[in-house]
Amino acid sequence: MPGRYQEWKSIYPIFTFFLAQWITPDSCINAASPLALRDCSANSVWFLLASYLSGAIACAVLVIRQINIAGLKRAAAFLLITTMVFLSLPGLFALERGNYILVAFLFLALSECCGRNWKGALFLALAINIKQYLLLLWLVPLLRRRYGYLMTCVLFSFCINLIAMIFVPEQHYFMLFGNMLGFSQEEYPSYFEKMWYAISFSAWAGALQFSAYIGHSLSPIVLKTGKFAVYSMRWISVGLALVSFFVQSRRASEISWELSSLLTLLALLVVTGSPGGYALILLLPYLLVILARQELLPPLILIFILYCPLDITLGPHYWERRVDYLSGRNVSDYAGLTLGSYLRPGALVLLMTYLIFEISGWKSNKNKLGNINVRLD
């Protein structure tokens, strides 16, 4: 794809294009559109589907390791967990959109399966080279003073970039960072779409500010009141993210690696409006281990809101006809705000608030958590 960074303004690392080049025949390079590219290269769809299923299986392995069952019960639990993860809304949403976050999800799950060694660092580096905002996970070994693991992961990330650039020559790779900044600040004419599956108040703030459709659909008083409420929650979310990092730095030796990783990703998701709602799938490897270990038991209603379909349309919407990327068929549906759009940003903030509160009060559980860390880290 000539001009991927200077003309198409791509925000994806070069490793993503290396994967695409690997699974796409050379005869498809001149495809006129994403749909034509999909029709030409069915391998791409099967690759994403296999990655997603493999990630769900890896998550099931993580859970089975934490529970003491055997025989048919163990096999049934493995099958049930794999099915539940595979049918979760964020993953299916990413699959329908053909998003490479499914591959990053697989690598995160494999990193967790391998543990805190060079293999785990390699898989984490691979995930970062698909979704670069996962760089924030480097804070976890940094706060825990696992400098060897951190440097191994950094070295792997650098080498993966170099290898990808050998196979996919690119003279304008440095423009990636400028494109990322522009993507997060651009005034999209159809910014209303960013709210359909919003997971942060930052996404709502951008839509209320830039979407002409929202401006025409709501009265000035409702729009002004909505902006005040959303912007207030946006800054509260930023404050909570900062508090989570402070608490982690104070309790790094007392909480598990998975809990620290979960908090770090939550902080990322609540402050930015750029990642789509399918980014919730990245929480699953860590969240499932925490739930299986009963290290923490977050309110299940929050998990339900984040991972189950809540697609009852409420509020501004319009009738849309489009071509579905995954199936290639013409579909008609309501495009607009759903019940989930209203509930998920708040559920994400409440989940992070709950975790921060529980961690900050864990003085009495220091020994138990310390034992967990010694065993897993």
What Cα–Cα distance (Å) separates residue 345 from each residue in 51, 227, 263, 305, 362?
A: 27, 15, 15, 10, 26
Only one residue has tokens 């440095």, namely: 174
Q: What residue type is assigned to position 170 of the chain?
A: E
- Listed in sequence order, the residues at least 6 apart from 224 whose beta carbon sits closer than 8 Å to its beta carbon are none
Count CB atoms within 10 A of the CB of residue 64. 15
**Per-residue pLDDT, 37:** 60
What is the pTM assigned to this prediction? 0.85
What is the sign of the dihedral through the CA atoms of 371, 282, 185 and 335?
A: negative
**Per-residue pLDDT, 14:** 79
What Cα–Cα distance (Å) separates residue 182 from each residue in 9, 53, 94, 176, 186?
A: 9, 33, 23, 10, 6
**Per-residue pLDDT, 329:** 66
**Per-residue pLDDT, 98:** 78
Q: Give the C-alpha separation, 345 to 365, whole Å.
A: 30
Instruction: Give the helix ranges, DSSP H, for the chain.
Output: 14-23, 34-40, 42-66, 71-86, 89-97, 101-114, 118-128, 139-143, 147-167, 175-185, 201-210, 212-217, 220-251, 257-271, 284-293, 300-307, 339-360, 366-376
- Listed in sequence order, the residues at least 6 apart from 273 whose beta carbon sits closer than 8 Å to its beta carbon are 184, 194, 198, 200, 202, 203, 204, 205, 206
Only one residue has tokens 């909480």, namely: 255
First to last CA, the chain: 42
Candidates 117, 116, 123, 136; CA nearest to 267 is 136
**Per-residue pLDDT, 363:** 44
Which regions of the chain are under pLDDT 70?
1-11, 25-42, 170-195, 215, 274-275, 320, 322-329, 331-335, 362-377
The DSSP letter of residue 5 is T
Contact 18/164 with Cβ under 8 angstroms?
yes
Q: Give the C-alpha separation, 336 to 129, whole Å.
A: 32
What is the sign of the dihedral through the CA atoms of 172, 176, 182 and 183?
A: positive
**Per-residue pLDDT, 121:** 96
